[in-house]
């Protein structure tokens, strides 16, 4: 991974910027000249993780390509909240066609650029988890298989948020959605189903696959930059908490993302072809409960009686991630209290 190794003990390497660092080593988001590709006035909810993730990713892609970028966008929150006709929040060439065909649209744009001899113009496709793991999956798999010169970015908020929080194949076990209510013997979404798209992408042996998270900006930016240095099909899966759909505080979006990583629920890694090349380690390991408790979609796991079995199941999945991806540095410090106390605003 390419995040800076310079350590400033006050700001660490964890803040967005750092006045003590040379400007060229700072993050794109710290730069006063960042493009704000997704501009103010969009209609995303307060504290939207997807809006944040999209600006992080696309601003980084813009900087990496000298602003020679075209984006295709699947139907979903990101598209709907950014472009109510005739307004747009996008400050880049941007096209929306359908819910399920984004990868194909992007492939078409890339082909057109090739025909026009514009090798400088780069193409991204972006969409939600529903548009990616479910309805757009066929087009995406084709794009991978043909190794089309497109970076596909999935903003994973773990359900169909735009249409009212329906389950997708990225919804985690036990989570309550509109279509997986918290009733019956096994309340919430079933365990054991769903797709792990980053691993499926790796199985296509495309040049570059990565996962990222809104709480690790520098890592996210480094991955977008890396992806833009490569030609062919690339895939980045960004974990973006959704305050409305998950029932979390608007001010906790980044905090929740951080907990997903620190508990091992969401592994952050980078792969080339079918090989994992780097892993972002857990800094202060926490039990999954720390991540589940603040989310109303998991409230039924704690009241009226604790569902220890379901919590243990989720913990087992996190532990499996930790083992499988080597998320814990054996030498690193282990669990202390939750990193941040949060109250009302």
Partner 1 sequence: MEKPFAITLDVGSSLANKTGTWRTYRPQYVDRLPPCNNACPAGENIQEWLFHAESGDYEQAWRALTANNPLPAVMGRVCYHPCETACNRGQLDESVGINSVERFLGDQAIKLGWKFTPPASSSGKQVLVVGAGPSGLSAAYHLARLGHRVTIQEAGPFAGGMMRFGIPKYRLPRDVLDAEVQRILDLGVVLQLNTKVENIEQTMKDSGFDAAFLAVGAHIAKRAYIPAADSARMLDAMQVLRGMEDEEKPMLGRRVVVYGGGNTALDVARTAKRLGATDAIIVYRRTREKMPAHDFEVEEALQEGIMIKWLSTIKNMSDEGTLTVEKMALDATGFPQPTGEFETLESDSLVLALGQDVDLSLLNGVPGLEIKDGVVQVGTNMMTGRAGIFAGGDMVPSERTVTVAIGHGKKAARNIDAWLRGETYAPAPKHALAEFDKLNTWYYDDAPKMVRPTLDLARRQSTFEEVVGGLDESTALFEARRCLSCGNCFECDNCYGVCPDNAVIKLGPGNRFEFNYDYCKGCGICRTECPCGAIVMVPETI
Ligand X SMILES: Cc1ncc(C[n+]2csc(CCOP(=O)(O)OP(=O)(O)O)c2C)c(N)n1
How far from the centroid of its chain's Cα atoms is residue 268's Cα?
10
In this structure, are strands 151-156 and 208-213 parallel, antiparallel, or unpaired? unpaired
158 binds partner 1 (CB under 8 A): no
329 binds partner 1 (CB under 8 A): no
Q: Residue 52 and residue 42: Cα distance in Å, rounded? A: 11
CB of 51 to partner 1, least distance (A): 4
List CB contacts of 114: < 8 A, sequence separation 6 or more.
149
List CB contacts of 301: < 8 A, sequence separation 6 or more.
174, 188, 292, 307, 310, 311
CB of 174 to Mg ion, least distance (A): 18
Q: How many residues does the chain have?
A: 345
Q: Which does 95 bind (CB under 5 to 8 A by kind): partner 1, ligand X, Mg ion, none?
A: none
In this structure, are strands 269-272 and 275-279 parallel, antiparallel, or unpaired? antiparallel
Q: Which does 99 bind (CB under 5 to 8 A by kind): ligand X, partner 1, Mg ion, none?
A: ligand X
List CB contacts of 134: < 8 A, sequence separation 6 or more.
168, 169
Task: Measure the N-to-C terminal CA separation of the chain; round to a whole number of Å.
Answer: 35
CA distances from 265 to 1, 50, 99, 213, 327 (A): 20, 18, 28, 12, 11
335 binds partner 1 (CB under 8 A): no
Only one of the segments 13-21, 72-80, 196-204, 270-278 lies at the binding site for partner 1 (rule: CB under 8 A); that segment is 13-21
By rule CB under 5 A, what string of x and - marks binding of each residue 139-158 to Mg ion? ------------------x-
Choosing from 22, 66, 86, 275, the residue that interacts with partner 1 (CB under 8 A) is 86
List CB contacts of 303: < 8 A, sequence separation 6 or more.
none
Query: Residues touching Mg ion: how many (CB under 5 A)?
Result: 4
Of 100 and 128, which has the nearer Cβ to Mg ion? 128
Most distant CA pair in the chain, distance:
63
By rule CB under 8 A, what string of x and - marks binding of each residue 96-135 to partner 1? ----------------------------------------
Of 128 and 264, which has the nearer Cβ to ligand X? 128
Q: Radius of gyration over alpha carbons of the chain, in Å? A: 19
As given in the structure block, the two tokens for residue 77 are 């929150």
Choosing from 249, 287, 289, 290, the residue that interacts with partner 1 (CB under 8 A) is 249
Residues 219 to 248 in contact with partner 1, rule: CB under 8 A: 243
Q: Residue 255 and residue 228: Cα distance in Å, rounded? A: 28
Residues 40 to 59 in contact with partner 1, rule: CB under 8 A: 40-44, 46-49, 51-52, 55
Of 12 and 164, which has the nearer Cβ to partner 1? 12
The H or E element containing residue 72 is strand 69-73
Choosing from 73, 132, 168, 253, the residue that interacts with partner 1 (CB under 8 A) is 253
Q: Which does 13 bind (CB under 5 to 8 A by kind): ligand X, partner 1, Mg ion, none?
A: partner 1
Interface contacts to ligand X, rule CB under 6 A: 50, 75-78, 99-100, 127-131, 157, 160-163, 168
Sign of the dihedral through C-alpha 168, 174, 178, 179: positive
20 binds partner 1 (CB under 8 A): yes
CB of 146 to ligand X, least distance (A): 23
Q: Which does 97 bind (CB under 5 to 8 A by kind): ligand X, Mg ion, partner 1, none?
A: none
The H or E element containing residue 201 is helix 197-203
CB of 335 to ligand X, least distance (A): 32
Contacts with partner 1 by CB under 8 A lie at 7-20, 26-27, 29-30, 32, 36, 39-44, 46-49, 51-52, 55, 82, 85-89, 217, 243, 249-255, 258, 333, 339-342, 345
């Amino acid at each position: 991974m390419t995040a800076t190794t310079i350590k400033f003990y006050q700001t660490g390497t964890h803040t967005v910027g750092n006045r003590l660092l040379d400007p060229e080593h700072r993050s794109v988001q710290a730069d006063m000249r960042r493009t704000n590709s997704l501009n103010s006035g969009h209609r995303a909810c307060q504290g939207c993780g997807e809006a944040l993730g999209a600006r992080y990713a696309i601003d980084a892609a813009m900087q990496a390509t000298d602003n020679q970028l075209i984006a295709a966008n699947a139907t979903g929150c990101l598209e709907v909240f950014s472009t109510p006709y005739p307004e747009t929040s996008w400050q880049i060439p941007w096209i929306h066609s359908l819910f399920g065909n984004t990868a194909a649209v992007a492939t078409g744009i890339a082909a057109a650029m090739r025909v026009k001899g514009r090798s400088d113009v780069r193409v991204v496709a972006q969409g939600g988890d529903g548009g990616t793991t479910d309805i757009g999956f066929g087009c995406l798999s084709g794009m991978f298989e043909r190794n089309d010169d497109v970076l596909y970015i999935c903003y994973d908020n773990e359900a169909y948020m735009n249409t009212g929080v329906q389950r997708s194949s990225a919804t985690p076990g036990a989570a309550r959605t509109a279509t997986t209510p918290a009733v019956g013997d096994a309340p919430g979404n079933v365990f054991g189903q769903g797709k792990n798209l980053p691993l499926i992408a790796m199985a296509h042996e495309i040049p570059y696959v990565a996962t990222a998270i809104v709480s690790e900006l520098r890592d996210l930016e480094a991955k977008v930059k890396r992806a833009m240095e490569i030609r062919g099909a690339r895939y980045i899966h960004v974990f973006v908490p959704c305050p409305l759909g998950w029932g979390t505080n608007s001010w906790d979006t980044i905090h929740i993302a951080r907990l997903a990583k620190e508990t091992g629920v969401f592994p952050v890694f980078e792969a080339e072809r079918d090989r994992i090349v780097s892993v972002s380690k857990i800094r202060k390991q926490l039990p999954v409960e720390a991540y589940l408790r603040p989310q109303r979609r998991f409230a039924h796991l704690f009241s009226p009686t604790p569902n220890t079995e379901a919590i243990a199941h989720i913990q087992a999945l996190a532990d499996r991630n930790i083992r499988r991806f080597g998320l814990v540095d054996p030498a690193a410090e282990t669990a202390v209290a939750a990193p941040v106390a949060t109250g009302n605003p």
